[in-house]
A = this chain, B = another copy of it.
Amino acid sequence: MRIAIQGATGSFHHIAAEHWFGSGNDYICCETFGDVFTALSEKKADSAVVAIENSRFGSITEVYDLLLEHKFPIVGEVAEQIHQQLIGLPGAKLTDIDEVYSHPVALGQTSRFLDSKLKNAEKVEFFDTAAAVEHIKRIGSIHNAAIAGHLAAEMHNMRILAKNIEDEQQNYTRFLIIKNGRTVVKNANKTSLVLQTDHQPSALYRAMGIFAKRNVNLTKLQSRPISGKVWKYQFYIDVETAGKQLDDIRHDLIADGCKVTILGQYMADPKTYED
């Protein structure tokens, strides 16, 4: 199978994809999330794995926008516990480092470590964690470090200068599995959908009542601007239901004046449940 991921092999997207699909697949490594969706559109990939949120950093809103724009179905989710490593050349020491390369999210996840141990080092945003490791290897300076997962250090024979430097030990990223083409997931128990209300006061409150009266739990509520409409928002909602009950909810929402777009029905990863 051809799987599009954001970032290089060795990245957390790669790790998440291996957990979902197993080994022996081909990877289409894309620089941006936009490129991942283009790879699906152009049928260069059969599936894709995209990060949608980190438990500390929050939603990756660009991916929310792309999901609605392209409407490839979500067929699964996988939550990965993220451990970030400070990675340098084999001869480097922590005190040598004056430039740190990584993805903005990884820089955000390790800001407490960076602010205390590498206060004066310049933080350079890079499109991918694992590619940042490749980049500093190519430069070959002991003054450069990258932040990435352990797999990237191993793949490139680099040294871990500081281990598990993430600010919060309970640091998870939730990845979505999306598929090129229609599909029905058996035993789905979770639905991702986009809701546009009629923009009247209390419209969102009424819509949430439609879930509440069935005791359906919302696990996520993410507002995003509606393109072309100033100060109007749509809501990306994850709910713990699917199938017939979801059909009923959708019917009631539409009857109440909402526009509903189903992004996918799939099995929840138990690691995404609240503690």
Stretch from A2-10, A155-163, A226-234, A243-251 forming part of the interface with B: A226-234
The CA-CA distance from A222 to B233 in the complex, in Å, is: 10
Stretch from A85-93, A182-190, A212-220 forming part of the interface with B: A212-220
Stretch from A21-29, A40-48, A267-275 forming part of the interface with B: A267-275
Which listed residue (B57, B172, B199) contacts A230, Cβ 8 A? Answer: B172
Q: Are the C-beta atoms of A230 and B61 separated by less than 8 Å?
A: no
Which listed residue (B168, B208, B230, B272) contacts A205, Cβ 8 A? Answer: B208
**Chain A: interface size category:** 35 or more
Smallest CB separation, A199 vs chain B (Å)? 7
The CA-CA distance from A256 to B122 in the complex, in Å, is: 46
Smallest CB separation, A268 vs chain B (Å)? 11
Q: A275 to chain B: which residues have CB within 8 Å?
A: 229-232
Given contacts A212-B202, A275-B229, A275-B230, contact A221 B219 (CB under 8 A): no
Q: Is A224 in contact with chain B by the CB < 8 A criterion?
A: yes
Q: Are the C-beta atoms of B56 and A231 separated by less than 8 Å?
A: no
**A 190-209 to B, binary, CB cutoff 8 A, 1 in contact else 0:** 00000000010110110011
Q: A221 to chain B: which residues have CB within 8 Å?
A: 204, 221, 223, 233, 235
Smallest CB separation, A195 vs chain B (Å)? 12
Q: Is A58 in contact with chain B by the CB < 8 A criterion?
A: yes
Residues from 46 to 98 in A contacting B, C-beta threshold 8 Å: 53-59, 61
Q: Are the C-beta atoms of B230 and A170 separated by less than 8 Å?
A: yes
Q: Are the C-beta atoms of A55 and B231 separated by less than 8 Å?
A: yes
Q: Is A125 in contact with chain B by the CB < 8 A criterion?
A: yes
Given contacts A56-B225, A222-B223, A225-B58, contact A215 B230 (CB under 8 A): no
Which listed residue (B53, B125, B225, B231) contacts A219, Cβ 8 A? Answer: B231
Knowing that A208-B208, A231-B272 touch, tell me 4 more A-B residue pairs with CB under 8 angstroms.
Answer: A55-B230, A168-B228, A204-B221, A220-B223
The 5 A-B pairs of least Cβ separation, nearest first, read A201-B217, A205-B208, A202-B212, A205-B212, A55-B230
